[in-house]
Structure 1
Amino acid sequence: MAPSEHQQAPPPMTKILERCLVAPAPGTVKPSALPLTFFDYIFLPFHPVQRVFFYELPCSRLLFLSDHLPHLKLSLSLALLEFRPLAGSLVLPPQCSSPEVRCGDGDAVEFTVAECSDNFHYLAGNHARDAARLHPLVPQLLLPGVGSRRAPVLALQATIFPGVGVAVGIAVQHAVADGSTSAHFLKTWAATCRLGRKGVLGVSCVGGPPTYDRTVIRDPMRLGRTFLADLQMLREDSRMEAWDLAGRSDIVRGTFIVTNEKIQQLSQRFTSKTSLECSPYTLASGLVWVCLVKAKGLDDVGGDTTEHFGFVTGCRARMDPQAPATYFGNCLGICCVEASRSDLVGEDGAVAASTAIRKVIRGVEERGGAFRGAENWIRDIFRLAALGILTVAGSPKLGMYQVDFGWGRPRKVEMVSIERTGAMSIAEAKEEEGGGLEFGLVLPREEMARFSGFFADGLKQLSCSWS
């Protein structure tokens, strides 16, 4: 049974124990400046990405500070030796011209150490939880242009729950690092820490060192110039604020799992209706999209309208020539799916949703398909945000549950920043929970309750159909 909120007395508190700066280890020869590409420009208006990793670690505050914390700091310094731009600053010159990451001898990453009296298991659960309770566990970063044309790229925090566990929080500028780059850094930092505790010294770059060669990103469509012009034109546009739920007192966070068994049942139903095959990502996302449309009550609105679902697609392997898997930066394309509201709330709504998502993915897989309509990406983001498009953050391919600092794999990984970006998070579900896919949502409390009901009913109907 999930811990109830009335059990949390006295009110939970988070106490800052230390704020320090961790610099890259000496000897780095990484770039002193790293220009952004048109892929990076897409995410300049987005809030920093915040994640928190919960680990079970039943040790005292004293043991954590004396034993575990020094290893975290040393391994971070060593990891920054390879991921040097993360210690730098994102600089946005006037008129948005030539944004870049600048690195200097005095660069360092702010690292906060805190102690929290909140209920670790409540925060790391799947049930609906007060979204604001996770805020103290992640560091804050300002976007460049908010008070300054320069902003740190990365900030980190370790929060100890004495005798129970530890939470590692990260905030990173999306315009500098996509999910693949963030996962590459986190796994390298964690592996360096884990192996260091076993006496193995040196950086352990998981998958190889990052690649900083910007010449692999070609721009024959001159998207960089188009995107910068659009960003300048839209600099006072507030439509993306329609996504932002931060600050509302009725916001809760919930996690929903579509197990491998349920995905198989979804696949059987989809194939029986369409005679087509569909990926687990598409099937599960379609189900969640439909449940969310129903939860918002949009099916009660008169007239039929169009619903929108947005996701990003990895472009490293879709470049010509291909960019290496270890390329540092963003390399994502923007995709939008449209479907009739009446189709989504109908008897075969999940099939209709998955069919629409599948069609767009198939279009991306065609030669040049990932860049079809790319010149409109910036303007489309602002336009669709105002329409309340549901977007996807994260990917099961990132393997965030593999980030192990030596305490075992995380009990839970949460993407805190989705409450500001109109997104649902997606990750691989743990095998002990049935495998499959894990979805995170942040919604008003009543809407979350409705969604939970529709989601449970949808899974139950699958069991009845194929029992």
Structure 2
Amino acid sequence: MAPEPDNPVRVLGQCQVSPWPSPPAGKPRSLPLTFYDLAFWDVPPVQRLFFFDNTDLLGGPEFLLSELPLFEKSLAAALHHFYPLAGKLPGGMPETAAPKIVFSDGDSVRLTVAVGDDNFEDLAGDHARDTARLRALLPPLLRNGGGQCSQDVFAVQLTVFPLAGICIGTTLHHAVCDGSSYVHFMRTWAAIHRCGLLDHSGGKSMAVEPPPLFDRSVVRDTDGLREVFLSDHRAYAAAGGKGPHDCDHTSGTTELATFRFTDRLLRWLGKQVESSETSARRCSPYALACGAMWAGIVRARGSSASFGFVTGCKPRASPPIPASYFGNCLGLCRVEEKMEPKQSCLEAVTASAAAIWRAIEGLAEQGRVFRDARGWVRVVREYAAARAVTVAGSPKLGVYAAADLGAPWGRPRKVEIVSVERTGALALAESGRDGDGGIEVGLALPRGEMEAFRAFYGELLVAAV
């Protein structure tokens, strides 16, 4: 592992990027949070890193002159379509009114530009890296004014690594939108950047198809979940207990590593599940990868752990919510079984994967995902406190393809969800390596647990040979 430099990042400057052109007057300036959004109100922000190779990049001053203007303009043009990302949220849960994302003309997203002195190749690898080195590449969300005035909901940092590449870091308040809406924004930003952004007439950005839908009326709340969630959040705040945002189970050095499940490995695991768990035939690649990770984490900790995941609710809602809807639209799902660290490697993986698959199959029942919805706020807090294994991201999002910036950057060589350090989630994505196929999973653990997990993963690979 490369040594950590004393000052891994030197900030060159910061600027505020506003949507350009400004959104039309007819667009809503205030978006109430739905019950889907409120389920994620006080979880930590979602923080992603995108690493792009470019050995021709000379350094910070050259980047500022040649590349930064295009990044700023393409970001502004993308924010024209996704202007709520430049808006504000209350700094805390209001005592009476419901929270809203409010955009005012002139609002902006803070863009930080920095030079990285760390080892780019090492940072963008799969091996275990100290998360402190990666956190330096991420921007914070700032609060505006004292008390609970307001806070930013989105921030971007561009870090230049001379003769190596760049890293784009984003920080997003989870109550604003889920991974599907976030990737929709990134796909729009990347497409505008690829296409050179502006026409010669001086201003109109390229059309986006489909544009994001901000109409909150498409979210039906016949069970009054929004009021239930508001009441729950206020009750927890009044009780003064720790929320998911405050839970930090790390001690000492925490490391982030990527573990790959190729198509070949997933097919082999699927056969093992089918032969040992007759109730779990046709186990999905998602369940297989998550099951293996869950089993390995239990082994690494030496103690049992619960498992939970989210599922997209746009097609499950009645009536269905359009795919272009901007916001959160996820349902919280729990796996009833709790894994214990007593089984052999393969037995643990097959049992874990089968348990996850049974929970996924159960979602086929009409309305099943909403059956326990009144308890979602409580479940988020309980899982955070218990250090349960959860999931962030999905291979279906296609985050690598979405972030294709075109020449000279192309697709990112690596995408990381660094915020799993705080949430304990598995960071799932499609494999970013050409021709590899399969799923890649990011995992953050204390150093001792990471070593134990890597041993478990190696044992699994040996068994699959």
Same fold (TM over 0.5): yes
Contact conserved, 1:244 with 1:422, CA < 8 A, in 2?
no
- Of stretches 403-412 and 431-440 in structure 1, the one that deviates more from structure 2 is 431-440
> Is 2:294 the counterpart of 1:297?
no
Shift of the alpha carbon at 1:65? 1.3
Q: Tell me the residue number matched to 2:2.
A: 5
Shift of the alpha carbon at 1:83? 0.5
Q: Tell me the residue number matched to 1:138.
A: 138
- How many angstroms apart in 1 are the aligned matches of 2:340 and 2:306? 13
- Local SS of the residue matching 2:434: helix
- Local SS of the residue matching 1:5: coil
- How many angstroms apart in 1 are the aligned matches of 2:198 and 2:175? 35
Shift of the alpha carbon at 1:108? 0.8
- Of stretches 366-375 and 144-153 in structure 1, the one that deviates more from structure 2 is 144-153
Matched residue type, 2:193: C
Shift of the alpha carbon at 1:148? 2.2
**CA 1:260–1:72: 2 relative to 1, 3 Å:** same
- Local SS of the residue matching 2:390: strand
- How many angstroms apart in 2 are the aligned matches of 1:241 and 1:102? 22
Contact conserved, 1:426 with 1:438, CA < 8 A, in 2?
yes
Instruction: Give the CA RMSD over aligned residues.
Output: 2.2
**CA 1:242–1:458: 2 relative to 1, 3 Å:** farther
- How many angstroms apart in 2 are the aligned matches of 1:53 and 1:34? 29
- Local SS of the residue matching 1:95: coil
Shift of the alpha carbon at 1:207? 4.6
- Local SS of the residue matching 1:354: helix
Q: Tell me the residue number matched to 1:412.
A: 414
- How many angstroms apart in 1 are the aligned matches of 2:89 and 2:105? 15
Query: Pick from 17, 23, 34: which aligns with 2:12?
Result: 17
**CA 1:75–1:322: 2 relative to 1, 3 Å:** same
Q: Tell me the residue number matched to 1:218.
A: 220
Deviations 1:412-438 (A, max 9, x none): 111111111121111111243722111
Deviations 1:151-205 (A, max 9, x none): 1111111110011100001111100111011111111111101111797985456
Contact conserved, 2:254 with 2:447, CA < 8 A, in 1?
yes
- How many angstroms apart in 1 are the aligned matches of 2:394 and 2:97? 31
Contact conserved, 1:344 with 1:353, CA < 8 A, in 2?
no
> Is 2:287 the counterpart of 1:285?
no
Q: Tell me the residue number matched to 2:364.
A: 365
Query: Pick from 234, 240, 244: which aligns with 1:240?
Result: 244
Contact conserved, 1:142 with 1:151, CA < 8 A, in 2?
yes
Q: Tell me the residue number matched to 2:115.
A: 115
- Local SS of the residue matching 2:363: helix
- How many angstroms apart in 2 are the aligned matches of 1:239 and 1:102? 24
> Is 2:46 the counterpart of 1:49?
yes
- Of stretches 273-282 and 123-132 in structure 1, the one that deviates more from structure 2 is 273-282
Shift of the alpha carbon at 1:145? 11
Q: Tell me the residue number matched to 1:254.
A: 257
- Local SS of the residue matching 2:170: strand
Contact conserved, 2:198 with 2:204, CA < 8 A, in 1?
no
Q: Tell me the residue number matched to 1:102.
A: 102
> Is 2:84 the counterpart of 1:85?
yes
Contact conserved, 1:396 with 1:428, CA < 8 A, in 2?
yes
Shift of the alpha carbon at 1:354? 1.2
Q: Tell me the residue number matched to 1:430.
A: 432
Query: Pick from 310, 325, 328: which aligns with 2:326?
Result: 328
- Local SS of the residue matching 2:457: helix
Deviations 1:228-286 (A, max 9, x none): 1111111222153674256x441111110011110010111111223411110001110
- How many angstroms apart in 2 are the aligned matches of 1:342 and 1:156? 40
Using structure 2 for the length normalisation, give the TM-score. Answer: 0.92
**5+ unaligned residues in a row in structure 1: which ranges?**
299-305
Query: Pick from 447, 450, 453: which aligns with 1:448?
Result: 450
Which structure features the higher share of helix residues? 1
Shift of the alpha carbon at 1:385? 2.1
Shift of the alpha carbon at 1:97? 3.1
- How many angstroms apart in 2 are the aligned matches of 1:404 and 1:234? 42
Aligned residues between the structures: 450
Contact conserved, 2:114 with 2:160, CA < 8 A, in 1?
yes
- Of stretches 46-55 and 381-390 in structure 1, the one that deviates more from structure 2 is 381-390
Matched residue type, 2:176: V
Contact conserved, 1:343 with 1:352, CA < 8 A, in 2?
no
- How many angstroms apart in 1 are the aligned matches of 2:453 and 2:328? 32
- Of stretches 211-220 and 236-245 in structure 1, the one that deviates more from structure 2 is 236-245
Shift of the alpha carbon at 1:68? 1.2
- How many angstroms apart in 2 are the aligned matches of 1:331 and 1:17? 37
Deviations 1:119-162 (A, max 9, x none): 00111000011110011111001579994241111111111001
- Local SS of the residue matching 2:14: strand
- Of stretches 134-143 and 306-315 in structure 1, the one that deviates more from structure 2 is 134-143
Shift of the alpha carbon at 1:386? 2.1
Contact conserved, 2:295 with 2:339, CA < 8 A, in 1?
no
- How many angstroms apart in 2 are the aligned matches of 1:263 and 1:204? 40
Q: Any residues of structure 2 matched to 1:127-166 within 5 Å, and which?
A: 127-141=127-141, 147-166=147-166
Shift of the alpha carbon at 1:209? 0.4
Q: Tell me the residue number matched to 1:73.
A: 72
- How many angstroms apart in 1 are the aligned matches of 2:144 and 2:419? 17
Q: Tell me the residue number matched to 1:208.
A: 210
Contact conserved, 1:87 with 1:154, CA < 8 A, in 2?
yes
**5+ unaligned residues in a row in structure 2: which ranges?**
none
**CA 1:416–1:209: 2 relative to 1, 3 Å:** same
Identity between Structure 1 and Structure 2 (%) = 42
- How many angstroms apart in 2 are the aligned matches of 1:41 and 1:338? 24
Matched residue type, 1:50: Q
Contact conserved, 1:90 with 1:144, CA < 8 A, in 2?
no
Contact conserved, 1:153 with 1:176, CA < 8 A, in 2?
yes
Contact conserved, 1:178 with 1:329, CA < 8 A, in 2?
yes
Shift of the alpha carbon at 1:345? 2.7
